[in-house]
Chains A and B, each alone.
Chain A
Amino acid sequence: MPPTKKTKKTHESINNRLALVMKSGKYTLGYKTVLKSLRSSKGKLIIIANNCPPLRKSEIEYYAMLAKVGVHHYNGNNVDLGTACGKYFRVCCLSIIDPGDAAEIFLTCDIIFLRTTKPFGFK
C-alpha cells in the first residue's frame, strides 16, 4: 500500500487546530507528562514528532494502545511541532487533554488506533 501523501492543506489544518487547542484547550507537552496523562486516562489524543526516538515512540504507542487513545504521527520533527504549538522550544510529544474549541482535531488527524487484541499467530 503506497504511503498516503499528506497534502499541504491537511498539514496546515492540523497546525491550525493545534493553535486553537493551545489557545482554548488543555494540553501537556513532553514525554513524562504524556505518560502521566495516559496513566490517569486524561489524554484524548497524543501527537508524536517524527524524529522521536523509536523506543520512546513505541513505548508511548503501547501505553496509548492500553488506554485506547489515538496517536497521531506529526509530519515534522520536534522543532516543527514546537513551532506549531507556538513555543520557542522543541516538543517531541504532546497530549491533548481537552480540545476546547478545536473538537474537530480528531477528524483532521490521521489517528492511528492500535490493535488491542493479540496479533494473529500469538497465544
Chain B
Amino acid sequence: MGLKSERSVFLIFKISKLLCYSPETLTTNTSTEGEGESEGAKMVKFLKPNKAVIVLQGRYAGRKAVIVRSFDDGTRDRPYGHCLVAGIKKYPSKVIRKDSTKKAARKSRVKCFVKLVNYRHLMPTRYTLDVDLKDVVSGDCLQSKDKKVSAARETKKRFEERFKTGKNKWFFTKLRF
C-alpha cells in the first residue's frame, strides 16, 4: 500500500510539472477596498462535463480522460462525489510524414475505456475536450458488458476523428511519469 501511495504522489508531481504551471506566474492581488469581498464570493465549479482529467488510481492510473457526466452528491450505490469518465486506454503513436496512409491509420488508433471514478481519484486539469459523448456514454452503459463495449467502441471512433484533426494535442499525448 505504501508503494501505491508513492506512485500516485509521484504522478501528481509529474502532473504539476507537465501542466505548464509554474509558481512564478502568480499574480498578487493587493487588497483593495471592496474588491476582496466580491472576489471572495466567486467560486467556480470545475468538475463539469468536458473537463480533461487525469486518473490517479486503479488500472488506468496516469491516463487522461474526459468527464462525461458528474454526480456531485453521489447516488445510492455510491454515496460520494464521482463522475463518469471516458478515457484513453492506449494512446495513439506518433505519426510521421514518412508513413504511408496504411501505416498512419494503424498508428492513429486509440483504445478507450469508460469508467465511474471517485473525485478523489482524479486530478483535474485546466484543459477541456469538447467531444460530444453524452448520447454515447449514457448513465446505463455500465450495466452490462456488451453495452460497455459498444460505448467504448463509439468513443474510440469519436476520439480517433478528433485526433486526426490535430486539435487537443495535449489530450492525446501520453503522460510521462
Contact = CB atoms under 8 A, between A and B. Distances in A.
Interface of A: 35, 39-45, 55, 58-59, 61-63, 65-70, 99, 103-104, 106-116, 118-119, 122-123
Contacts of A65: 21, 126
B81 interface: yes
A14 to B, nearest CB: 11
22 contacts: A40-B45, A41-B44, A41-B46, A42-B43, A58-B21, A59-B16, A66-B46, A67-B43, A68-B43, A103-B40, A104-B36, A106-B37, A108-B31, A109-B31, A110-B28, A112-B28, A113-B27, A115-B27, A116-B126, A119-B20, A122-B20, A123-B169
Contacts of B31: 106-111
Contacts of A41: 43-46
B158 to A, nearest CB: 22
User: Which of A35, A65, A110, A111 counts the most B-chain CB atoms under 10 A from its CB?
Assistant: A111
Given A55-B13, A59-B16, A114 B43 contact: no
Interface string B1-42: 000000001001100100111110111111101001101111
B72 interface: yes
Chain B binding site: helix, strand, loop or mixed by DSSP?
mixed
Given A41-B43, A66-B44, A111 B16 contact: no
Contacts of B36: 104, 106-107, 109, 111
Nearest to A71: B26
Contacts of B39: 70, 106, 111, 113
Contact of B37 (A43, A66, A103): A103
Contact of A113 (B29, B81, B169): B29
Interface of B: 9, 12-13, 16, 19-23, 25-31, 33, 36-37, 39-47, 72, 81, 119-120, 124, 126, 169-170
B85 to A, nearest CB: 15
A115 B126 CA distance: 11
A114 B26 contact: yes
Contacts of B169: 123
A119 B126 CA distance: 12
A66 B22 contact: no
Contacts of A112: 26-29
